[in-house]
Structure 1
Amino acid sequence: MEDILVLKDICKDFAGVSVLKDVNFSLKKGEVRALLGANGAGKSTLMKIIGGVYQATKGEVYLNNNRVKFKSPNDAKEKGISIIHQELSLIPTLSVVENMFLGREKTNKFKFLDKDTMLKEYRNITESFNFTMDPFIKVSKLSIANRQMIEIMKAISYNADIIIMDEPTTSLTDSEKVNLFNIINKLKKSGKTIIYISHILEEIFKVTETTSIMRNGEMIGTYETSELTKEKIAELMTGREQQRFSIKEESYAVYSEDAILEVKNLNKKNILKNISFNLYKGEVLGLAGLVGSRRTELVNAIYGAEVIDSGEIYLKGRKIKINNPSQAIKNKIGLIPEDRKSLGLILNHSIYQNSTLVQLDKMKKSGLLNKGKEIEFTKNAVNTLSIKADNIVNKVNKLSGGNQQKVVISRWLNKNLDILIYDEPTKGIDIGAKEDIFKVVKKFSKAGISIIFISSDLEEVLRVSDRILVMRNGEIVEELKNENIGVRDIMNSIFNV
């Protein structure tokens, strides 16, 4: 059978950094292919090239033997490729059927909305896949699982030849997963081709025929899924020879005293499941897990940015209730968020205004905000963190990604914190900026501040952490002491090998 899709020597660079390196990838009509790789392996970037979100820096894409160059996601959809993204893209205030046809609404000869035709098409699709959902209900009233199923139906409604499913079962119950697997079988029988991305290996063995594995932006190979084991997949994803890491050179964790933070039986429906752990003075506690493991949701719950259903949090032995980030800061807990541009910075404000954002109580003189104090604080922060800035009165959006991240970190200097949470602090920054951030982690730890450190780069987690908690599907599945372990040990825990 001929290949329906062929990618030849695909390269992708961002700001001179190579993310994909000469990737070759091909699919046959009706094939269900798994795409696996650790966080940062290049899976999402490759899929975004196939889906028209990105254009390759170098290389060729062939669809049905014709060379193509997708200019946009709509261009890719028109040529028969649809992506079900992990981040849902539905409009909560619109109905199910309105979301299904958003941007491609049916109209009659008078150019008015043809609601009857849209409703008929909706019912034809959903009934053929045994999906029952009131077409007129607002999406805001639906569970995350039902929203996920609507995304799947929406992708099918494009009548695409190739459907990319990125972590499609993250929010689904077991029965809903069975329904999804039945949908995949029906799509396969009708000649549709599926690319299936998931960190749940049981699903890979259940629904896919072949598996492609990526590592560090390269395609390691494609294998018959039936010939693979969890152990073999972990080996291919991390490299054949596991490098062993000694315990980090210097540790400032004080295990002889009571825990600074105690988290007991934290729960949030379909998100977090009985999370319990301790954090000690000066300790760097790593959180490791793949996409969908709910690491960010966990730290957001501790910081008051995520509402929990049940559980208890104790700070220095005192039970506390944190309902919002302001309360977390009052309890001497800080957060460096994963998305610095949306959640960490006010991009159209100056560097110094961003740097002093949580320090405004110290920046006053005679009850009024004092610009001189803000400038002085920020100048010290610039020197401490080696922030490269022409002038601290310039807008923060003029800085590089690494220097923007340092500005987010700078606001916690001299804040008298007990706990600082780093969520993906090195994402999208250069090696030099990463080294500066590692130095600051050490500086905070040495000063007795307890750190929770999240990174998709497991070598970074190993480099800075005293202990590592491994998360999978919203649960802590293992605790590892950082002594003579390597990346594959963590991956084996993630995959339950």
Structure 2
Amino acid sequence: MVDVDRDDAETPEGTGAPANLLLRMEGIVKHFPGAKALDGVDLDVLPGEVHCLLGQNGAGKSTLIKVLSGAHQPTSGRILLDDAEIAIPHPVAALNHGIATIYQELDVVDGLTVAENIYLGHELDRGGFTQRRAATRRARDLLRRLGHPEISPHTEVGQLSAAGKQIVSMARALSHDARVIVMDEPSAVLDSGEVENLFRVVEGLTAQGVAVVYISHRLEEIRRIGDRITVLKDGRTVGRNLAVAATPTKELIKLMTGRTVEFAFPERPGVPDDAPVVLEVSDLALGSTFSDVSLEVRAGEIVGLAGLVGSGRSEILETIYGARRATSGHVRVGGRALRPGSVPAAVAANIGLAPEERKSQGLLLDEPVFKNITLSTFARTAKGGWLDERAERRAASEQAVALDLRPPQVGRAIRTLSGGNQQKALLARWLVHGCEVLLLDEPTRGVDVGARSEIYALVRSLADAGTAVVVVSSEIPEVLGLADQVLVVSEGQVVHRGPAQDIDEHAVLDLVMEGSAA
């Protein structure tokens, strides 16, 4: 394996570039003011294959697919379809070429029906009149093609699950006669059963000759669904056309990070028996969502909540934080009861929340990094009733250095940071605040391998410093590896609690599927 840290490192080749290429992106360069996002990236895609695009956050994956989808124009390089060079000046041109992109944040309209979403922007009409019956008939055919005839074209999309909305997005792509479908982190909002269904849909598409470019941070998914891999690092192609079956995981990680990263969680030093209880939750309930939830978290302890999507895990955190008003039960911090349904009261009690949907719920995307970091501590940096921007920048810069925020410039808009670095900035907010209790909902969702290790180490270091941490994750190994104590939640009920080392992944799955220890 080559040393991928060297500027003159050769790109490891896999199966090479076969003659029957459907799509080729060749030498793609993309400059933004003050930054080069892509520096000569190559991507070869065959008809009927699942081509996996790997790389850390900030490696250039998002920029590359935006070039392919027509959202960005390349500074140089070319795109070939069926060996002929094409121009993609805007997203409509990409669709006209049969290239469709399904982003992680699904672009469906909840208030419209399934059929209306599928043909949104290219409605079927004749003589200026929309052909609703034809759209319904074709939508039904597309849903059958995707193996989901149970989804009615007349259903409002807002009534569908995340998995159902994803199927609607795929049907929209097929309605454009897509030959290449790009899927950006398609499993991020799905539970394990829905992921298996996603794989069946992808296999059905590729059997029909459709090529799928699949972007995921979950290497086990790549093993399950992928054919070949292209790896990006720092805007360059560092691994090209690698056969999934023939490329060891350690080599993929080294290509992505430039170093060997072990899937090891920080050591659990153990919580002293005399450590005080910082957070106490007693008989907490939220309507029919969850009930009778009780837990204690001591200073320096990490408690993990494991369960399927929709089990009530996230709602438990939001209710503790006051974003939802409990219907019964109590929350105490340091022995003092919190006013239910009051976020200001939780913040005043030094509780912090890093929500699952960090972009929509946790961050001000158009504001600079330093504003996002100091959001909960404006009063501390104010002078005479006015915000002291220098003090804000200074406090944020200290955390940016401490957390190895990349890039470290705190004046840039936070939306320009990768997912992993946005998550670091969100954690930095509560470090500046000085939280006694930190609630983490899916802290590594959409975060690459290298940044995951850094976030794990950061969470453990916070606990070692005395912070009480509650973490929710859909990835059971993450909960078991990071937490000291684990609560398993099924259908709004805690069905197990105990030390993390006393339960394994299979036992957790049995509990969440069956709903009881029996």
For residues 64-75 of structure 1, what are the structure 2 equivalents within 5 Å? 64-75=82-93
Name the structure 2 match of 1:126.
143
The amino acid of 1:378's aligned partner reads D
1:466/1:300 Cα in 2 relative to 1: closer, same or farther (>3 Å)? Answer: same
Distance in 2, matches of 1:33 and 1:50, equals: 14
Structure 2 letter corresponding to 1:239: G
Q: Aligned partners of 1:130 and 1:309: how far apart in 2?
A: 41
Match of 2:391 in 1: 381
AA of the residue aligned to 1:204:
I
Contact conserved, 2:377 with 2:432, CA < 8 A, in 1?
Answer: no
For 1:87 and 1:189, locate their aligned partners in 2 and report how far apart those are by CA, in whole Å.
26
Name the aligned partner's letter for residue 136 of structure 2: L
CA distance in 2, matches of 1:147, 1:53: 22
Give the letter for the 2:388 counterpart: T
From 405, 411, 414, the equivalent of 1:403 is 411
Distance 1:209 1:309 in 2: 50
In structure 1, how many angstroms separate the alpha carbons of the residues matched to 2:481 and 2:329? 20
Aligned to 1:116: 133
Say whether the 8 Å CA contact 1:355–1:378 is kept in structure 2.
no
| 1:381 alignment partner AA | A
Counterpart AA for 2:479 = V
Is the Cα–Cα contact under 8 Å of residues 359 and 365 in structure 2 kept in the other structure? Answer: no
The aligned counterpart of 1:189 is 207
1:320 Cα deviation after fit: 5.2
Kindly state the Cα deviation for residue 238 of structure 1 after the two structures are TM-superposed: 3.1
Aligned 8 A contact 1:81 1:162 in 2: yes
User: Is the Cα contact below 8 Å between 1:80 and 1:160 reproduced in 2?
Assistant: yes
- 1:211 counterpart residue number: 229
1:143 aligns with 2:143: no
- Residues 236-255 of structure 1: pairs in structure 2 closer than 5 A: 236-242=255-261
Matched, 1:329 2:347: yes
TM value normalised by structure 1: 0.66
Residue pair 1:155, 1:163 contacting (<8 A) in 2 also: yes
Instruction: Give the residue type in structure 1 aligned to 2:138.
Output: E
* Deviation at residue 328 of structure 1 after TM alignment: 2.7
Verify the 8 A CA contact 1:356 1:378 in the aligned structure 2. no
Q: Tell me the distance in 2 between the aligned counterparts of 1:44 and 1:163.
A: 14
Instruction: After TM superposition, give the deviation of residue 91 of structure 1 in Å.
Output: 0.8
Match of 1:227 in 2: 246
Give 1:123 deviation, angstroms. Answer: 1.9
- The answer to whether the 8 A contact 2:54-2:231 is kept is yes
Residue in 1 that maps onto 2:24: 6
Equivalent position amino acid for 1:63 in 2: L
Question: Does structure 1 conserve the Cα–Cα contact (< 8 Å) formed by 2:54 and 2:61?
Answer: yes
Distance across 2 between alignment mates of 1:44 and 1:74: 18
Instruction: Give the structure 1 partner of residue 11 of structure 2.
Output: none
Aligned partner of 2:500 in structure 1 is none
Alpha-carbon distance in structure 2 between the residues aligned to 1:107 and 1:473: 43
What residue in structure 1 maps to residue 499 of structure 2? none
The equivalent residue for 2:404 is none
Q: How does 1:6-45 map to 2 (within 5 A)?
A: 6-45=24-63
Q: What pairs up with 1:271-286 in 2 under 5 angstroms?
A: none
The match for 2:403 is none
Helix, strand or coil: the match of 2:165? helix
What is the CA distance between 1:164 and its match in structure 2? 1.0
SS at match of 2:51: strand
Distance 1:2 1:172, change over 3 A: same
Distance 1:119 1:334 in 2: 47
* Structure 1 residues 121 and 465, CA gap change in structure 2 (3 angstroms): closer
SS at match of 2:42: strand
- Determine which of 108, 115, 133 is the counterpart of 1:90: 108
C-alpha contact (below 8 Å) 1:284/1:450 kept by paired residues = no
**What is residue 461 of structure 1 aligned with on the other side?**
455
User: How far off its partner does 1:66 sit?
Assistant: 2.4
Unpaired runs of at least 5, structure 2 = 1-18, 398-407, 464-469, 484-504, 506-518
Aligned residue identity for 2:173 = A
Would the alpha carbon gap of residues 382 and 185 (structure 1) be closer, same or farther in structure 2, given more than 3 Å must change? closer
Q: SS of 2:129's equivalent?
A: coil
Q: State the secondary structure of the residue aligned to 1:146.
A: helix
The CA deviation at 1:81 is 0.3
1:477 match: secondary structure: helix
After TM superposition, give the deviation of residue 45 of structure 1 in Å: 2.2
Once the two structures are TM-superposed, the CA of residue 82 in structure 1 deviates from its matched residue by: 0.5
- In 2, distance between residues paired with 1:330 and 1:65? 62
Deviation string, structure 1 residues 73-103 (Cα, Å, up to 9, x no partner): 2221111100111111111111111111111
Equivalent pair of 2:232/2:238 in contact (CA under 8 Å): yes
Q: Give 1:178 deviation, angstroms.
A: 4.2
Q: Which shows bigger deviation, 26-35 or 296-305? A: 296-305
* Structure 1 unpaired stretches of 5+: 248-252, 364-370, 388-399, 407-422, 482-493
2:86 and 2:329 map into 1 onto residues whose CA distance is 53
1:209-247: CA deviations, max 9, x gaps? Answer: 2122233433221311122344444444333445999x9
Residues 256-280 of structure 1: CA distance to partner in whole angstroms, max 9, x if unpaired?
6324346899999xx99xx999876
What is the alpha-carbon distance in structure 1 between the residues aligned to residue 255 and residue 394 of structure 2?
Answer: 40
Are the counterparts in 2 of residues 341 and 347 from structure 1 also a CA contact under 8 Å? no
Q: Deviation per CA, 1:50-87, whole angstroms, max 9, x where unpaired?
A: 11222223322222222233222222111110011111
Q: Is the 8 A contact 1:264 1:313 kept in 2?
A: yes
Residue deviations 1:296-351 (CA, integer Å, cap 9, x gap): 99976654447999999652256757545344334333458886898655979xx9
In structure 2, how many angstroms separate the alpha carbons of the residues matched to 1:331 and 1:211? 48
CA deviations 1:361-405 (Å, max 9, x no partner) are: x99xxxxxxx98322x53673575489xxxxxxxxxxxx982377
How many residue pairs were aligned?
A: 422
Deviation at 1:459, TM superposition (A): 6.8
Q: 1:402 to 1:108 in 2, by over 3 A?
A: same
Cα separation, partners in 2 of 1:90 and 1:307, compared to 1, 3 Å: farther
The farther-off stretch of 67-76 and 84-93 is 67-76
Aligned AA for 1:205? R
State the secondary structure of the residue aligned to 1:124.
helix
Displacement of 1:474 after TM fit? 5.1
Query: Residues 83 and 344 of structure 1: is their aligned pair in 2 closer, same or farther, counting only changes over 3 Å?
Result: closer
Amino acid at match of 1:127: R
Higher mean C-alpha displacement, 32-41 vs 301-310: 301-310
